[in-house]
Amino acid sequence: MANEKMIKLKVNGAVHSVTTDPERKLLYVLRDDLDLTGTHYGCGEGQCGACTVLLDGRPTRSCLVPVSAVEGAQITTIEGIEKSGALHPVQQAFLDEDAMQCGYCTSGMILAAVALLRRTPHPTEDQIQQRMQGNVCRCGTYRRIIRAVQKAATISAVKGGAK
Ligand code: FES
Ligand code: FES
């Protein structure tokens, strides 16, 4: 189409070239063009956090960001946080604490928690609630999510930090 442009995206350490409308939202490019379907569509309006990815380490609503705005940024999705087949400490803690029911919010919750623990390795319960309040869980598993983030902080401390 006439208004399409070739855009280079750095996702999970790999460079991808996509030809698309520059105003198209990152969420749709990740899911539909790059097949990274772990990033979920919830509200499409920046209200739920299901579409959270990390942009240069910052949790970001991918449903709101035009793909042209993130050219050159390091984009991390849920598929990109395990290392050499080992789950990230936050992923492991979510499993250990059974911090999911339907799982729809989980990838966004995990990425929000990864960003939180990088900035604040030993968060209080209040800090976890505050920093993750923009991520909505329709199943109401908040208590277990908080326990999982606390457990991830412990696992990360043993492993030398949440990377
Ligand atoms: S789908 Fe992006 S915030 Fe809800
Ligand atoms: S586990 Fe169902 S929305 Fe959170």
Question: Whole-angstrom Cα distance, residue 132 to residue 126?
Answer: 10
Residue type, 47: Q
How many residues in the chain?
163
- Probe residue for ligand 2, chosen from 40, 51, 106 as the CB with the greatest number of ligand atoms within 8 Å: 106
The HSE-up count of residue 95 (CA atoms within 13 Å, CB side) is 6
**Residue 20: strand pairing partners:** 5
Task: Return the domain boundaries, the chain.
Answer: 5-80, 89-159
pLDDT value, residue 156: 73
Question: Whole-angstrom Cα distance, residue 142 to residue 147?
Answer: 9
Ligand 1 interacting residues, C-beta cut-off 6 A: 41-44, 46-51, 61, 63
Sign for the CA dihedral angle at 139, 142, 155, 128 comes to positive
pLDDT value, residue 162: 53
Helix, strand, coil shares, percent, the chain, to 5: 40, 20, 45
The fold adopted by the segment(s) 5-80 is Ubiquitin-like (UB roll) (3.10.20)
Q: Encode pLDDT of 18-66 as tens digits.
A: 999 999 999 999 999 999 999 999 999 999 999 999 999 999 999 999 9
Residue 99 and residue 147 in contact, taking contact as beta carbons nearer than 8 Å: yes
Place of tokens 């993750």: 132
Q: Select from 3.30.420.40, 1.10.150.120, 3.40.50.300, 1.10.10.10 the CATH code of 89-159.
A: 1.10.150.120
Q: Encode pLDDT of 73-99 as tens digits.
A: 999 999 999 988 899 999 999 999 999
- Cα three-residue angle 49-107-12, rounded to 5 degrees: 105
Q: How confident is the model at residue 155 (pLDDT cuts 50, 70, 90)?
A: confident
- In this structure, what token pair is assigned to residue 84? 């050499």
What is the residue with the minimal CA distance to atom 4 of ligand 2? 137
Question: Model-level pTM?
Answer: 0.94
